[in-house]
């Protein structure tokens, strides 16, 4: 069935280091891949997204890469800061209607 | 318009009772989605609307669950005869979509349901 796998489930990095979170998806028709950040007790917020006709997208310290052949995409955060600590979710669009299937999430801890 | 609004923020109910949640999406958005999130998991799709039409329902949505979006504005999600397994955060999101081009969701703050 429709599935998005996300790794790792937890990630601890030192402030200033980079963090990478990886996701794989099962539906070859998926064409939209957003990433969400969710702080404790708050709503998920869109931080970056990529469409299937693009291989990489950057926005300041965050970037996303997409490999359609392998059906995986990754989030890269450089120069991490304590305020980057949160749960990060990847998602992939499924079918018509922009239904999103989410990964299980990655808890990122940035140690200062 | 400040975003997606959900009410109530918290709901504690006894098993077997009915509950109803409300979501007010961003007014320019034509699509509205309901998701459920349990601790340590990503949001799980329940159903979505394009304007007032309910276009898809997940297998997770048993016959105890019903959602409406009258007039294509706000939406309600009702759970009848609640069970302890229904305890979760219920998230509403809205998005704009033009043809096949997808855009990211804006989520509401959610309604946390606790069934005791």
Say if CB A7 and CB A20 are below 8 A apart.
no
Q: State the best of A30, A44, A101, A104 to mutate against chain B, taking most chain B CBs within 10 Å.
A: A44
| Per-residue model confidence (pLDDT) at position A1 | 64
Q: For chain B, say whether A34 makes contact (Cβ under 8 Å).
A: yes
Q: Is B86 helix (H, G, I), strand (E, B) or coil?
A: helix
* B81 or B30, greater pLDDT: B81
Instruction: Find the CB nearest A93 among B41, B55, B102.
Output: B102
| Per-residue model confidence (pLDDT) at position A94 | 86
- Residue B55 is given by DSSP the state E
User: What percent of chain B stands above pLDDT 70?
Assistant: 97
β-bridge partners, A73: A23, A66
Cis omega (within 30 of 0) for bond into B16:
no
| Per-residue model confidence (pLDDT) at position B104 | 84
Nearest 5 degrees, angle CA A3-CA A29-CA B57?
60
| Per-residue model confidence (pLDDT) at position B59 | 85
Tens digits of per-residue pLDDT, A53-88?
889 999 999 999 999 999 999 999 999 999 999 999
User: What percent of chain B stands above pLDDT 90?
Assistant: 72
* Residue-averaged pLDDT of chain A: 94
Q: How would you classify the pairing of strands B44-50 and B10-13?
A: unpaired
Residue B100 has pLDDT above 70, yes or no: no
Query: Buried (b) or exposed (e) across A57-96, using 16+ Cβ within 10 A?
Result: eeeeebbbbbebeebbbbbbbeebeeebbbbbbbbbbbee
Return the top range by mean pLDDT from A11-25, A30-44, A82-96.
A11-25
What number is the average pLDDT over the span B30-47?
Answer: 94
Nearest 5 degrees, angle CA B6-CA B12-CA B16?
110
Distance from CA of A15 to the nearest CA of B (A): 24
What number is the average pLDDT over the span B51-57?
Answer: 89
Q: For chain A, say whether B47 makes contact (Cβ under 8 Å).
A: no
């Amino acid at each position: 069935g429709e599935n998005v796998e996300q790794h790792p489930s937890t990630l601890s990095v030192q402030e200033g280091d980079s963090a990478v979170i990886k996701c794989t998806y099962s539906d070859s028709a998926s064409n939209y891949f957003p990433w969400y950040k969710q702080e404790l007790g708050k709503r998920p917020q869109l931080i970056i997204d990529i469409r299937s006709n693009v291989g990489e997208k950057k926005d300041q310290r965050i970037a996303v890469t997409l490999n359609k052949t392998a059906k995986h995409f990754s989030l890269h955060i450089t120069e991490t800061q304590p305020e980057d600590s949160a749960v990060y979710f990847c998602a992939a669009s499924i079918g018509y209607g922009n239904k999103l299937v989410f990964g299980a999430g990655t808890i990122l801890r940035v140690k200062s | 318009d400040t975003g997606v609004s959900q009410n109530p923020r918290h709901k504690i109910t006894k098993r077997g009772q009915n509950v109803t949640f409300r979501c007010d999406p961003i007014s320019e958005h034509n699509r509205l989605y309901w998701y459920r999130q349990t601790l340590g998991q990503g949001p799980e799709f329940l159903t979505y609307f394009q304007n007032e039409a309910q276009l898809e329902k997940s297998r997770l949505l048993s016959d105890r669950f019903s959602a409406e979006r009258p007039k294509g504005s706000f939406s309600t999600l009702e759970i009848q005869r609640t069970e302890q397994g229904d305890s979760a955060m219920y998230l509403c999101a809205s998005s704009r979509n033009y043809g096949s081009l997808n855009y990211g969701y804006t989520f509401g703050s959610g309604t946390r349901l606790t069934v005791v």
